[in-house]
Chain A
Amino acid sequence: MNNPRGIGRTINWFLVSTLFLSVMFAGAFAETDARKILDGVYEQDTSHDTTMRGVFDIFDKDGHKTTKKFMLYRLGSPGDSKTIVRFSDPPEIRGVALLSYNHTGDTDRQWLYIPATQRSRSVAPRELSEKFAGTDFTYEDVEERVLDNFHYRLLGDSEMIDGHKTYKIEAVPIDSSRSQYKYVYYWVGQDVPVILHAEMYDRDGKLVRELHASALKKVSGMWGARHIEMKSVEDKTRTVLTIDEAKFNQHLDEKLFTPEDLGEVPATKH
């Protein structure tokens, strides 16, 4: 210990190992941070049920617009929920309803109700890359995100989007068969736990879709975007999802979230 070279050596060793350990655990720490950040986005939703009124404005590559209006009803919490999307406009699809059962660890089950036939039919598991209802959102984009299916890495924390400082997070699927994407970048607001921007890259590493959220609003203690735009880069099409109204904990009747009763409009339980 009275050997200065030995102390120096010891100090050097300490410094190197600290540095090494910092580098080694920085990733894990960053991953933990990144994961935590995204957890924060989803965990803020503590509602028992959700009722939303929304509109899809779908623009083709020439800018022509078609509009689809819908109501969304969700019962349960992320990871264990039942969701109905019922379209009210245009007339051709009025009354069409899609029921999804989501349970972490199981494949989603879906049923579709068609008013013209007055029947519900089970729907085969969709290709993840298939477009939902003719919009630019794919089925993977609209389904409940299972955070455990991805590795996360914090890439930066200084970029600004719409006046909000953001965390830039990279999400890479653990099992490539469970996602159409090779990786996704998220920009999450540091001051608001909302994904403000996202870029999706396909298996070749090519940018295929961009999402941008705006018109942030806090309802019942939960932050959400009321304006979400999804662009398909190659097709040059885009869809704007506008949430006109969102209500939580309306005591929706669970009995209506069944294939047999899909033709009925969910009502509140009194």
Chain B
Amino acid sequence: MFLALWHISLLQWWNHRLRLLLTTMGIALGVAVFFAIRTANVTLLDSLRLTVEKVAGKATLQITAGETGFPEEILDKVRATPGVKLAEPVIEVIARTAFPDEGNLLILGVDTAGDQQLRDYEFDKSQTQISDPLVFLAQPNSILLSRAFADRHSLKIGDTFPLYTSMGRKDFTVQGTFKPVGIGEVFGGNIAIMDVYSAQVVFNRGHNFDRIDLMNSPDVPVETVQRNLHANLPAGLEIVPPQTRGQDLESAITAMRVGLTITSFTALLVGIYIIFNSFTIAINQRWKEIGILRAVGVERRNINLMFLCEAFLMGVIGSALGVVAGFYLAAIGVKVMANMASAVYGFLSTSTPVVFSYKYAIISMLLGVTTSVVGAWFPARAASQLDPTRALHNIEARNREAVLGWRRVTLGLVLTLSSLALMIWTPSGVGATFQFSYAVLMLLGLTTLLPKLIEILSHVLRPIMDWLGGAEGSLAVDAMIQCPRRSSATVGALMVGLMFVFSTAAYIQSYRHMVDRWMKESLNADIFVATSTTMRSTTYHFSEELGRQIAAIPGVKRLENVRFTTIPYDGDSAALIAIEMNGFMARAVDAVQGENQKVLLDKLPKGEGVLVSRNFALRWKKHVGDSLTLNSPTGALTRPILGVLDDYRSEKGTIFIDRALYKQYWHDSAVDFFFLTLNPGVDPVVAKREVQNLTANTIHAFVYTQVEFKKWVYGLVDQFFVLNYMQLVIAVIVSVLGIVNTLMISIFERKREIGIIRAIGGLRVQIRKLILLEAVAISIVGVALGALAGMCSTEFNVHTVSMVLVGYAVPFLIPWTLILISLPVVIVVSLLAGWWPAQHASMKDIIEAIGYE
């Protein structure tokens, strides 16, 4: 029996090769994206960890204080701690080279004497001069290069090459090279070493170190040394093994990883929909065949099994193809993600080849097969429950009521409304992956409601189509009303594809609106001066002296020195902005909610209170009036929260304190931004040029007027939304696949109907017009439902993804422009997709068409 059914399946596949191909491609697409993202994610995290571990060398513990660094006096305390065998200071920067074809160079500032016991670098002994450590220490522009970098640029000992430092473009002298082993492998060989104290000068670190790497004495366990250090050092320092720092990196890029997870599950969801769609159509086409099988005694169970086996095999083939495609996609994915990690988070990674993970391949295959079987489940079940007598009737005699009945409608409403309710009222502690199931629930609900919605919209559309296309127009809409199951498949594919397109566009639009408001309320200086083209740079900082020079430019009313860094907070991290509160409050007091203005203006500049961002308050359950304790490298700092404001610089939340207070506790006078307020009537473009002239010979500064700054921030936002754009591409591909797939199939399915129309006198041109108008009607209904589904999905993005996961209050905006533009586009695509089948159907022999079953 099974073999016989299998033979029937194979025959069907052969006869409908195109549908098989398109369905399999749908699964392959979903699996490819899932596998590519998983593999790229793991590869990136591995490379981040590898970088941390290779740079850490033999260090068993590392001491940091977020990005701010800490006073160098800490080093003596560390060395004096019982159990510490060796402790070496480190300054780690990513410096821009001035080579046109070379990007960044990782520079480790170390004490080369002791550091060689910690890190694995083998110096080349091939040089003819005797290496002179005194010259290396005495000249701050001395540098040791990895051989890979030196060879790439034909640099020998004694040669100079240019780098951008905090003091502008400087030439550095090569004093030696080291082999591409151990640390020489990091960052693709783009690594160099210089003296740590020279690095302090050149990269404006003052008297701070970024990190201390240490080794414990062999007879004292690491945990004991860790405890001793905690007892000896201020609380604001983190003392962790290098592997933990690697895990911290993983946690820091959570928002990016959540976005990736959502994208990968989206792709699978789309795959499920394609399978469901395809099997629904297939079963529609094969009802007669199913009726015959049932009539000759094949049990329901075996009918069900037949379709599920087909789905299983399609899943296996599609998944295998998807895994292969995903592996190659992963290489692109890693590049994209590494660039994002660098641009948005400032992390560097060592490029590692993408490794084929059998574990993830098996998981992807299982998911692909499961997707396929799940997608085919309900259609297969429906097929197995088909009444043989009814199935053997005319193909149009369907159980129409089942799909439009009140049971199905009620179920659809319950599912949809529950998903919306869950989205709105779920507490923030619920995991991201679980919350993603709300989107699945919503899609399930809308799919269940689809036939009813199509019926309703078709009734609304009928008079319009009648006016547009005459009798053919009415017939086209009637065909949708009379065969809701067939129409559902096509409209459903359109709805899902457009849902992603609209919701992605809506989310990006909402995010930009949010950024607009933020910039108007608190990022409203006239001129911005930055050290980097990314959101922040851990390498380049300005000095207050430069700030004083800029403030002296005629036309500058006020200058604010801004430090933007991250600090450890409560086992995690938070962003910290140190800014002159006098200036900040003068222009942004309206952005703050909390204490009254008089209190804010009085206390904040004195350092008697702090502000926090709204997402910080949500994340850490803090309110105005609560006490906030920050552990600095010199001791604990406790202040009340005086106000809350919207800030979108960090998904971890941001703390705002007065700059003088920050310098007092962190001993850090570095500056990341200058915010300038100009006197009334001063042209910002002229002022910008003055600043550029002033900084031209000192440091590589990026100067923006407010308009330009906004554009720059949008550019950074777009970088962050690279993943969403990827989702958009997937959605467009799905939409096109869905339209082509289902239109062609549904048109073939109506061959008999078309034959009858021809037999009663319908002209070929009328047949073509009928088919094409049905395509138009399907498009219009698809766009309308896609917009509806898009709004539900936008609510998911805005509420669950933004508010719950990240804490950002993104407004809910509908992309009307895109919806209106998409209508003619979708109509054109549908017409193109329907043209050949319409042509083919209209040319069919009438007798053959009537006889089609």
Contact = CB atoms under 8 A, between A and B. Distances in A.
A116 B132 contact: no
A133 B113 contact: no
B68 to A, nearest CB: 21
B96 to A, nearest CB: 23
Nearest to A87: B134
A117 B140 contact: yes
A134 B75 CA distance: 26
A130 to B, nearest CB: 7
A230 to B, nearest CB: 13
Interface in A20-34: none
Interface in B83-122: 86, 88, 111, 113-114, 117
Contacts of A64: 128-129
A121 B88 contact: no
Contacts of A117: 140, 197-198, 200-201
Given A124-B88, A126-B113, A93 B130 contact: no
B135 A92 contact: yes
Contacts of B139: 92, 116
B133 A124 contact: no
Contacts of B79: 124
A134 B76 contact: no
A96 interface: yes
Contacts of A112: 137
Nearest to B72: A121
B138 interface: yes
A119 to B, nearest CB: 7
B134 A133 contact: yes
Interface in A59-76: 60, 62, 64, 66, 68
Point out which of A60, A87, A117, A126 has the most chain B C-beta atoms below 10 A from its C-beta. Answer: A117
Nearest to A126: B113
Interface in B387-423: none
A114 B137 contact: yes
Nearest to A95: B138
B138 A96 contact: yes
A93 B197 contact: no
Contact of A124 (B111, B129, B137, B138): B111
Contacts of B638: none
B697 interface: no
B83 to A, nearest CB: 16
Nearest to B198: A117
A126 B130 CA distance: 19
A126 B198 CA distance: 20
B385 interface: no
A123 B113 contact: yes
Contact of A134 (B86, B114, B133): B133
Given A60-B128, A123-B113, A133 B133 contact: yes
B131 interface: yes
B669 to A, nearest CB: 16
Contacts of B137: 96, 112, 114
Contacts of A96: 134, 137-138
B645 to A, nearest CB: 41
Interface string B129-167: 111111101111000000000000000000000000000
Contacts of A133: 132-134
A134 B131 contact: yes
A87 B139 CA distance: 14
Interface residues of B, number: 25
A64 B139 CA distance: 22
Contacts of B134: 68, 87, 92-93, 96, 133-134
Contacts of A127: 113, 117
Contacts of B75: 122
Contacts of A180: none
A58 B113 contact: no
A131 to B, nearest CB: 8
A139 to B, nearest CB: 10
Nearest to B76: A122
Nearest to B133: A134
A7 B328 CA distance: 103
A58 B130 contact: yes
A81 B115 CA distance: 28
A126 B129 CA distance: 23
Contacts of A156: none
Interface in A117-170: 117, 119, 121-127, 130-131, 133-134
A237 interface: yes
A134 B198 contact: no
B129 A60 contact: yes
A8 interface: no
A263 to B, nearest CB: 13
Contacts of A68: 134
A131 B112 CA distance: 13
Contacts of A62: 128
Contacts of B76: 122
Contact of B197 (A58, A66, A114, A237): A114
A130 B113 CA distance: 8
Interface string A28-67: 0000000000000000000000000000001010101010
Interface in B230-254: none
A123 to B, nearest CB: 7
Contacts of A87: 134
A205 interface: no
Contact of B138 (A92, A123, A130): A92
Contacts of B117: 127
Contacts of A121: 197
Point out which of B79, B86, B131, B197 has the most chain A C-beta atoms below 10 A from its C-beta. Answer: B197
Interface string B481-516: 000000000000000000000000000000000000
B197 A134 contact: no
Interface in A85-103: 87, 92-93, 96
Nearest to B139: A92
Contacts of A66: 130, 132
Point out which of B132, B134, B137 has the most chain A C-beta atoms below 10 A from its C-beta. Answer: B134
B791 to A, nearest CB: 62
Interface in B3-31: none
A34 B111 CA distance: 40
Nearest to B117: A127
B128 A116 contact: no
Contacts of A93: 132, 134-135, 138
Contacts of B198: 116-117
A114 B138 contact: yes
B130 A60 contact: yes
Interface in B49-90: 75-76, 79, 86, 88
A121 B113 CA distance: 13
Contacts of A58: 130
A74 to B, nearest CB: 20
Nearest to B130: A60
A125 B88 CA distance: 11
B282 to A, nearest CB: 75
A83 to B, nearest CB: 16
A77 to B, nearest CB: 28
A5 B496 CA distance: 124
A114 B196 CA distance: 12
Nearest to B129: A60
Contact of A115 (B88, B114, B138): B138
Contacts of A125: 114
Point out which of B86, B135, B198, B201 has the most chain A C-beta atoms below 10 A from its C-beta. Answer: B135
15 contacts: A60-B130, A66-B132, A115-B138, A121-B197, A122-B76, A123-B111, A124-B88, A124-B113, A125-B114, A127-B113, A127-B117, A131-B133, A133-B133, A134-B134, A134-B135
Given A133-B133, A134-B133, 4 more contacts: A92-B135, A114-B138, A127-B113, A134-B134
Interface of B: 75-76, 79, 86, 88, 111, 113-114, 117, 128-135, 137-140, 197-198, 200-201
Q: 8 tightest CB-CB pairs across the interface, nearest first?
A: A124-B114, A134-B132, A93-B138, A93-B134, A92-B135, A96-B138, A60-B130, A133-B134
